[in-house]
Chains A and B, each alone.
Chain A
């Protein structure tokens, strides 16, 4: 593939010009995968949106909202945006470094490995195989595969960097490097889990520590999977598409380092007013505010790069989409810090406001930028013109309107519902029941579903347009290129910017980025793990019984935490509605924590003892029979399925090795203990007229055991 010719250069006596080619086939593969998963991810999202309107759309156990929601988030983030990243990186990296990818075989392994992981996710999540941790729901065998594929990607990327023909690394590549190292750290840190079977595991951290690690990950998955790689893409594709110089090199430097350093600290803003210690909450808040400027640095550099090209922005769908993407990025990154101001968060958290906010980011920033890149890149590698500019323009308008129709109703819904939650009558009684606050926002859900539907329609339009484009062209699999190899000297020249030094040294750049991203996480996480005062012990809190553990795992399997929080914040409106606010000491045996992040239904932390067992039994069978306007799906299979007790001893042993203080012989006696507790619950159900000869062995019994235990330890007298 590579040939070397010698030409003469008037300045340097002899320069070798190497001839090589860029791999466009891998770019095409990732591009097709991006478009395909984009359609799947948004369609599943549309289904989830419709399920909130029509509970009958929860067809089977596999398609209930609790499992569809994580399927949607995983498909959108890791399948759609993930493939989008790889498409963008594989195209731009080769050209920015003037080198073909390090290894075609690694590229291929990366591509197929990633698609297999997505497939595994798409199968396991509907089957209820889930860790319950948001955006990290995949279980340990898939976690391991992700690590392997990610390392393959890393080797391929760094291999290419090391054999580059361009001395300096462009800002896009700094972002790619920071992305790679940080995602590695986050993925490993948040996936520390101990398996008890081939498909299941318990996390190493419990309760508030697990929550902090989870949101250190969750927040930075947004930062380093949805943001930094896309900033890298923006820095390549926007100047290319606009044919304009990047506005400010100095701004790139400052905003890059500030962004990656500060982002890591902001995780605790997902846990404001929870049982997380106050100091960590304050850090999360102030660092989020500090993020405004570094984030806006990216937006400014993008928008100001378009100076002198705004006339073309009006005409060119690619540039139009990029402008909306960068603007949405700016809006979302301003809104995010404002939402992490504690008093704003007190209103927005647990509501649809957050959902609206993240969709400005994903539909606007990630979606629009990906569409723009696809429209620009596909015709290029297929050596043709876009089939229809008009359709692309239509897509632009549909997508923009879809985004607005999606987000604005949810802002309204979030504000409305939160205000209603907090409303008291003058005589000190909560004005609205939870269901009334939900009824009030159902029209907003309908508008949101409409916005989502037209956004999906836009994706369909794009795929049609791209297929037509591809059919009209021919893939240039290996694109010819030539460049001089790197000369040995790493010396800079006089008067150059100081930052040029590190741009010539990828290893130092990687180490610098790693240090920058490690500091924030370490400062916040290590004290939480090591200083006991951060989780004050509560005498009464005991480990769950074996039956309750099984019930808890059913709760996780069904994804109850997608709609129900288990975290009562210290507000009058919450303690009056749900009971005493949650204390960190109550969660020390919660592996994983199930605090949740959204209240589509009411909080469940103190549900224990609130209703009779038979209430739960009937409610799971048919929620609408008890509350006509409830949007909770039926869980009738829980009433007939037999509880699988095969793994219970293994579960208990795993928990014991993680530090849960069960009696040493408990694993041998779990089945007796389960029988005892199940018999008690079954007896109570029978008293209330529920007839089923095999009641004791049903899954519902375990779930009831867990629900009735929730939040009750704190008020119980310690047992002797």
Chain B
């Protein structure tokens, strides 16, 4: 995972940014939901739901009731300001969330794009449309739920203020309630939920009563129904597209296409690599770094069967002069690359790059004559290296040739 934050050598700022944004939004959401709004929740709790439930002593004198409910003259405007502010906050939060999500998606896509298996790229068009649709749907649903709360507040306020005569309100310097036109969002919300407000729910209470549980007769939420219809309509289209239209691909066809594409890409890449190594042109490397890297590959991959020092084990001894499949650099290279399956030597061409094979083969050449303890008996044929040896300017090589 750290690999994504540290893409290559440098820091992947996109991934870091998205991670931070995610955490911040998570905390903000928690704070918003459980911290800052405590007072608001309390106020809602104190609002009378039923007309009859406002006791007369609370109503009289009215300014106390108004104060109780938290709507003093100044409070009204302040509160409205608060509502607006909150709306802005919500919008910002929403934008941030979207930004973070898209950043996440981009980071993820970037992480996988090299492999040509990015989530987005790998989808076909109907799937892409579906995902976009789902995201929009979720965003809409979340916004609606948030909005529900403030709408309820607003309605309660209206109802409360309506109870008092305009003169009374004027005397108390409270603005007379103005029936405000519903905002776009309020209308949108109403149209997409068709929800009967809590205070009118008596109208839609069914005569069902199960151990005290009552049921309301609210409509199916239209947005919910729309998603259901959309999925139902999508199903036959998808089946037609994949199985009956000329555009669909079976799993097996997708696989062939993927392989063909990969072959093309690899060939194109190799064409740009002038010195691609294979068994026909491989030479033994003598640079210390190359041998060191060959050594580390040897330790992790080869030592299991050939011993930590090449003394042999399940596999043959690599330190003597006898070779089962040839002891030249190109023989060793190709034995590693293609393996000898019937003898248990696995092919490494899919797990090691050509350069790595060259390095490890070169390292194996340096083991010759090191005479480690517990050597396995010689197998195969004697191989005498052709002279001259590669120009030996490395001390290790020199010593070795001398000792031989």
A interface, CB within 8 angstroms of B: 92, 95-96, 98, 166, 168, 170, 236, 239-240, 245-252, 254, 258, 273, 278-279, 281-283, 285-287, 289-290, 292-294, 296-297, 300, 303-304, 307-308, 310-312, 314, 334, 338, 341-344, 346-347, 412-413, 415-416, 419-420, 422-430, 433, 440-441, 443-444, 570-573, 575-577, 581, 609-612, 614-615, 618, 626, 688-689
Q: Which residues of B contact A423 (CB under 8 A)?
A: 112, 114-115
Q: Which residue on B lies nearest to A441, using beta carbons? A: B1
Interface size class of B (residues with CB under 8 A): 35 or more
Known pairs A289-B231, A419-B111; A347 contacts B119 (CB<8 A): yes
Partner of A308, one of B3, B49, B111: B49
CB distance from A614 to the nearest CB of B (A): 5
A212–B229 Cα gap in the complex (Å)? 28
User: Does A612 lie within 8 Å of B344, measured CB to CB?
Assistant: yes
Q: Which residues of B contact A250 (CB under 8 A)?
A: 217-220
Tell me if B's interface is mostly helix, strand, loop or mixed.
helix
User: Does A282 lie within 8 Å of B206, measured CB to CB?
Assistant: no
Query: Most B CB atoms within 10 A — which of A341, A412, A444?
Result: A341
User: Does A341 lie within 8 Å of B210, measured CB to CB?
Assistant: no
User: Does A344 lie within 8 Å of B119, measured CB to CB?
Assistant: yes
User: Does A688 lie within 8 Å of B210, measured CB to CB?
Assistant: no
Partner of B206, one of A249, A430, A575: A249
User: Does A570 lie within 8 Å of B239, measured CB to CB?
Assistant: no
User: Does A427 lie within 8 Å of B304, measured CB to CB?
Assistant: no
Q: Which residues of A contact B3 (CB under 8 A)?
A: 416, 420, 440
CB distance from B170 to the nearest CB of A (A): 32
Which listed segment binds A: B157-165, B254-262, B362-370, B382-390? B254-262
A84–B255 Cα gap in the complex (Å)? 46
Q: Which residues of A contact B402 (CB under 8 A)?
A: none
Partner of B213, one of A245, A307, A422, A424: A245
Known pairs A415-B108, A571-B258; A289 contacts B130 (CB<8 A): yes
User: Does B134 lie within 8 Å of A615, measured CB to CB?
Assistant: no
Partner of B4, one of A278, A292, A341, A416: A416
Query: Most A CB atoms within 10 A — which of B42, B213, B219, B349?
Result: B213
User: Does B217 lie within 8 Å of A248, measured CB to CB?
Assistant: yes
User: Does B1 lie within 8 Å of A282, measured CB to CB?
Assistant: no
Q: Which residues of A contact B269 (CB under 8 A)?
A: 426-428
Q: Which residue on B lies nearest to A613, using beta carbons? A: B344
Q: Which residues of B contact A300 (CB under 8 A)?
A: 221, 224
CB distance from B314 to the nearest CB of A (A): 5
A427–B123 Cα gap in the complex (Å)? 25
A570–B251 Cα gap in the complex (Å)? 7
User: Does A422 lie within 8 Å of B112, measured CB to CB?
Assistant: yes
* B53 lies within 8 A of chain A by Cβ: no
Known pairs A245-B214, A290-B231; A615 contacts B314 (CB<8 A): yes
User: Does A424 lie within 8 Å of B234, measured CB to CB?
Assistant: no
Q: Which residues of B contact A609 (CB under 8 A)?
A: 341
Q: Which residue on B lies nearest to A426, using beta carbons? A: B269
Known pairs A286-B238, A609-B341; A247 contacts B216 (CB<8 A): yes
User: Does B220 lie within 8 Å of A430, measured CB to CB?
Assistant: no
Nearest 10 A/B pairs, CB to CB = A612-B344, A293-B228, A311-B45, A428-B266, A570-B255, A286-B235, A245-B214, A248-B218, A170-B210, A95-B211
Q: Which residues of A contact B346 (CB under 8 A)?
A: 610-611
Q: Which residues of A contact B305 (CB under 8 A)?
A: 612, 615
CB distance from A171 to the nearest CB of B (A): 8
* B227 lies within 8 A of chain A by Cβ: yes
If A278-B242, A293-B227 are given as contacts, then 7 extra A-B residue pairs at C-beta distance below 8 Å, sorted by A number, are A245-B201, A245-B215, A247-B218, A308-B198, A344-B119, A347-B119, A427-B266
Q: Which residue on B lies nearest to A307, using beta carbons? A: B198
A444–B1 Cα gap in the complex (Å)? 9
A273–B252 Cα gap in the complex (Å)? 9
Known pairs A278-B251, A300-B224, A343-B127; A429 contacts B350 (CB<8 A): yes
User: Does B111 lie within 8 Å of A343, measured CB to CB?
Assistant: no
User: Does B304 lie within 8 Å of A626, measured CB to CB?
Assistant: yes
CB distance from B307 to the nearest CB of A (A): 11
* B280 lies within 8 A of chain A by Cβ: no
User: Does B238 lie within 8 Å of A246, measured CB to CB?
Assistant: no
Partner of A310, one of B44, B108, B262: B44
A713–B129 Cα gap in the complex (Å)? 42
User: Does B213 lie within 8 Å of A240, measured CB to CB?
Assistant: yes
Known pairs A245-B215, A346-B122, A440-B3; A341 contacts B45 (CB<8 A): no
Instruction: Report the number of A-B residue pairs with Cβ-Cβ less than 8 Å.
Output: 220
Q: Which residues of A contact B263 (CB under 8 A)?
A: 428
CB distance from A644 to the nearest CB of B (A): 29
* B208 lies within 8 A of chain A by Cβ: yes
Known pairs A250-B218, A311-B42; A424 contacts B353 (CB<8 A): no
User: Does B350 lie within 8 Å of A430, measured CB to CB?
Assistant: yes
A577–B314 Cα gap in the complex (Å)? 23
A571–B351 Cα gap in the complex (Å)? 16
25 interchain pairs, CB-CB under 8 A: A236-B213, A245-B215, A246-B216, A248-B216, A248-B217, A249-B216, A251-B224, A282-B243, A286-B238, A289-B231, A293-B227, A304-B218, A308-B198, A311-B45, A343-B119, A343-B122, A419-B111, A426-B265, A430-B351, A441-B1, A444-B1, A611-B344, A612-B343, A615-B344, A626-B304
CB distance from A610 to the nearest CB of B (A): 6
Q: Which residues of B contact A576 (CB under 8 A)?
A: 350
Known pairs A248-B216, A343-B122; A310 contacts B41 (CB<8 A): yes
Q: Which residues of B contact A314 (CB under 8 A)?
A: 34, 38, 41
Q: Which residues of A contact B238 (CB under 8 A)?
A: 282, 285-286
A412–B3 Cα gap in the complex (Å)? 12
B 26-68 to A, binary, CB cutoff 8 A, 1 in contact else 0: 0000000010001001101100010000000000000000000
Contacting residues of chain B (197-249) with chain A, CB-CB under 8 angstroms: 198, 201, 205-206, 208, 210-221, 224-225, 227-228, 231-232, 234-235, 238-239, 242-243
* B117 lies within 8 A of chain A by Cβ: yes
CB distance from A421 to the nearest CB of B (A): 9
User: Does B350 lie within 8 Å of A577, measured CB to CB?
Assistant: yes
Q: Which residues of A contact B44 (CB under 8 A)?
A: 310-311
Q: Which residues of B contact A252 (CB under 8 A)?
A: 215
Partner of B211, one of A96, A248, A416: A96
B 332-362 to A, binary, CB cutoff 8 A, 1 in contact else 0: 0000000001011010011111100000000
CB distance from A440 to the nearest CB of B (A): 6
A308–B53 Cα gap in the complex (Å)? 15
Partner of A427, one of B234, B239, B270: B270
Known pairs A279-B243, A428-B262, A572-B258; A338 contacts B41 (CB<8 A): no
Q: Which residues of B contact A444 (CB under 8 A)?
A: 1
Known pairs A424-B115, A440-B1; A249 contacts B352 (CB<8 A): no
Partner of B231, one of A92, A95, A293, A572: A293
A334–B231 Cα gap in the complex (Å)? 13
* B138 lies within 8 A of chain A by Cβ: yes
User: Does A572 lie within 8 Å of B262, measured CB to CB?
Assistant: yes
Q: Which residues of A contact B328 (CB under 8 A)?
A: none
User: Does B231 lie within 8 Å of A614, measured CB to CB?
Assistant: no
Q: Which residues of A contact B205 (CB under 8 A)?
A: 245
Q: Which residue on B lies nearest to A684, using beta carbons? A: B344
Q: Which residues of B contact A615 (CB under 8 A)?
A: 304-305, 314, 344
A441–B224 Cα gap in the complex (Å)? 38
Partner of B1, one of A281, A416, A689: A416
A618–B265 Cα gap in the complex (Å)? 40
* B397 lies within 8 A of chain A by Cβ: no
Q: Which residue on A lies nearest to B232, using beta carbons? A: A290
CB distance from A335 to the nearest CB of B (A): 11
Q: Which residues of B contact A688 (CB under 8 A)?
A: 313-314
Known pairs A96-B210, A293-B231, A427-B269; A412 contacts B1 (CB<8 A): yes
* B250 lies within 8 A of chain A by Cβ: yes
Q: Which residue on A lies nearest to B228, using beta carbons? A: A293
A342–B262 Cα gap in the complex (Å)? 21
* B195 lies within 8 A of chain A by Cβ: yes
